[in-house]
């Protein structure tokens, strides 16, 4: 039995420790906001925060989360940065199909937590791991600036 917290609540999973955190979240805990896109840490759709750091949950064994704090899209609004990011995303109507957006928002929230006023270069490097097949990149960039309150928005 592996225990950790998800969005502030105690959670446990009776699965082998090498099971990816992604599938524990989605299938064991029924939290489907975190998405499966590639299973190979290439697309970022599965991004969650582990003790505040963005990680690809498809490549994170659940054993690595034992005793730690996991934050997912379902709980990201609990942080000030997460709230601002979601508000900016709504204001600029970022999503198209929406499938990558949980991961985008988790990466953007981690960026703004670490760097409240990111430059375009900061955005490029923080967001490069998140693929959007629908091409919402221009709006993601604008929304991050908007969430940061900088004038590029």
Binding to other proteins by CB under 8 A, coded x per residue (else -) over 62-91, reads ----------xxx--x--------x--xx-
Cβ atoms of 2 and 65 within 8 Å: the answer is: yes
Residue 7 interacting entry, from other proteins, ligand FES, none, C-beta within 5 to 8 Å by type = none
Q: Whose Cβ is closer to other proteins: residue 51's or residue 93's?
A: 93
H/E stretch holding 140 reads: helix 137-148
**Cα dihedral sign for 116, 122, 128, 134?**
positive
102: DSSP letter: H
Cβ atoms of 22 and 58 within 8 Å: the answer is: yes
Name residues whose C-beta falls within 8 Å of residue 139's C-beta, 6 or more positions apart in sequence.
Answer: 92, 93, 94
Look at residue 110 and give its three-state secondary structure: helix
Nearest to 19 by CA among 10, 9, 29, 32: 29
Q: Is 54 in the site for other proteins (CB under 8 A)?
A: no
CB 113 to ligand FES: min, Å: 20
Per rule CB under 8 A, count of chain residues that contact other proteins: 58
Q: Is 61 in the site for other proteins (CB under 8 A)?
A: no
Residues near other proteins (CB under 8 A) are 15-16, 19-20, 23, 26-28, 30-40, 42-43, 45, 72-74, 77, 86, 89-90, 93-102, 105, 123-125, 127-141
For ligand FES, the binding residues (CB under 6 A) are 36-39, 41-46, 56, 58, 95-101, 132-134, 136
């Amino acid at each position: 039995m592996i225990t950790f917290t998800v969005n502030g609540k105690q959670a446990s999973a009776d699965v082998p420790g090498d099971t990816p955190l992604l599938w524990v979240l989605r299938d064991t805990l029924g939290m489907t906001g975190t998405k499966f896109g590639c299973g190979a840490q290439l697309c970022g759709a599965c991004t969650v925060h582990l003790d505040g750091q963005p990680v690809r949950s498809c490549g994170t064994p659940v054993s690595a989360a034992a005793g730690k704090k996991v934050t997912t899209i379902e709980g990201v609004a609990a942080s000030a940065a997460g709230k601002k990011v979601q508000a900016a995303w709504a204001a600029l109507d970022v999503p198209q199909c929406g499938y990558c957006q949980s991961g985008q928002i988790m990466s953007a929230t981690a960026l703004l937590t670490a760097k409240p006023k990111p430059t375009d270069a900061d955005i490029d490097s923080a967001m490069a791991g998140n693929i959007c097949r629908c091409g919402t990149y221009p709006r993601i960039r604008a929304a991050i600036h908007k969430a940061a309150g900088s004038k590029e928005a």
